[in-house]
């Protein structure tokens, strides 16, 4: 089992960020900051399948695990990301146990799943297929994202699916789906996050969440969340530059 997956499923606190800038330089800069992992965002960015491999390669150069948030449940996307050498995948908008099971099938090799064997980068382009097959099921991280009212309603069944490592909460889409946007909806959203967290931990799953800043990480860690996706490279770039400009103008 990889050290990263061990940390995740043993509820150690890990902190990463979304990587949305489609260039290896941005990955290398991000990977050098001391975070535990990064997640290449192929859902909400202009990062395509061909580029994913080079971005994973850039992260590997700094020995930082790179997950890939795939754009859909499609098994082809999951296989492509893993064949490129990703440390795991984050599958968005999982709202039923059937969708969670399909993610497991696409991520794990037989006898657990149905992932196909291919000569990609992860297996040294075919030269180390036996070694990769032996390690992959125990090493790869599967995180599934609950971010809809339907997913909230089905959280206990979703969390019970074997083969899922992390139940990841997407507060943005979840707040829209359950009509809990903005300050007026904060209490309702927080209650939903707590419900998901409790159900996941009861099922023995680690829990992750996106946070735009570190301001309330301690609060959610106390609630049982251990996998934190902190903002994104674009958010940090914009915030840092805006702060620098403001400081320069006021100096």
- Please give the positions annotated as active site: 44
Q: Smallest Cα–Cα separation from 16: which of 81, 64, 88, 60?
A: 64
Token reading at 238: 């914009």
Token reading at 8: 């995740």
Distance between CA atoms of residues 228 and 236, nearest Å: 15
Q: Cα dist. 230→120, 184, 200, 216 in Å?
A: 30, 23, 20, 11
Q: What are phi and psi of 6, to 5 degrees?
A: -60, -45
Distance between CA atoms of residues 142 and 176, nearest Å: 25
């Amino acid at each position: 089992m990889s050290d990263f997956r061990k940390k995740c499923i043993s509820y150690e606190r890990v902190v990463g960020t979304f990587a949305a800038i489609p260039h290896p330089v941005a990955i290398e800069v991000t990977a050098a900051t001391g975070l535990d992992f990064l997640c290449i965002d192929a859902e909400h960015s202009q990062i395509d399948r061909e580029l994913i491999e080079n971005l994973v390669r850039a992260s590997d150069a700094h020995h930082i695990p790179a997950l890939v948030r795939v754009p859909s449940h499609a098994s082809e996307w999951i296989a492509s990301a893993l064949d490129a050498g990703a440390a795991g995948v984050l599958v968005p908008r999982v709202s039923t146990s059937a969708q969670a099971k399909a993610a497991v099938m696409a991520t794990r090799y037989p006898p657990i799943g149905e992932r196909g064997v291919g000569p990609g980068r992860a297996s040294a382009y075919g030269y180390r297929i036996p070694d990769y097959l032996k390690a992959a099921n125990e090493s790869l991280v599967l995180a599934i994202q609950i971010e809809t009212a339907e997913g909230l309603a089905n959280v206990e069944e979703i969390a019970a699916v074997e083969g899922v490592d992390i139940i990841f909460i997407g507060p943005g889409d979840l707040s829209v789906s359950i009509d809990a946007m903005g300050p007026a909806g904060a209490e309702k959203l927080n209650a939903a996050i707590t419900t998901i967290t409790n159900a996941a931990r009861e099922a023995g799953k680690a829990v992750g969440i996106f946070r735009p800043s570190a301001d309330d990480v301690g609060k959610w860690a106390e609630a049982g969340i251990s996998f934190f996706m902190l903002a994104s490279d674009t958010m940090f770039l914009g915030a840092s530059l805006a702060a620098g400009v403001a400081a320069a103008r006021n100096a």
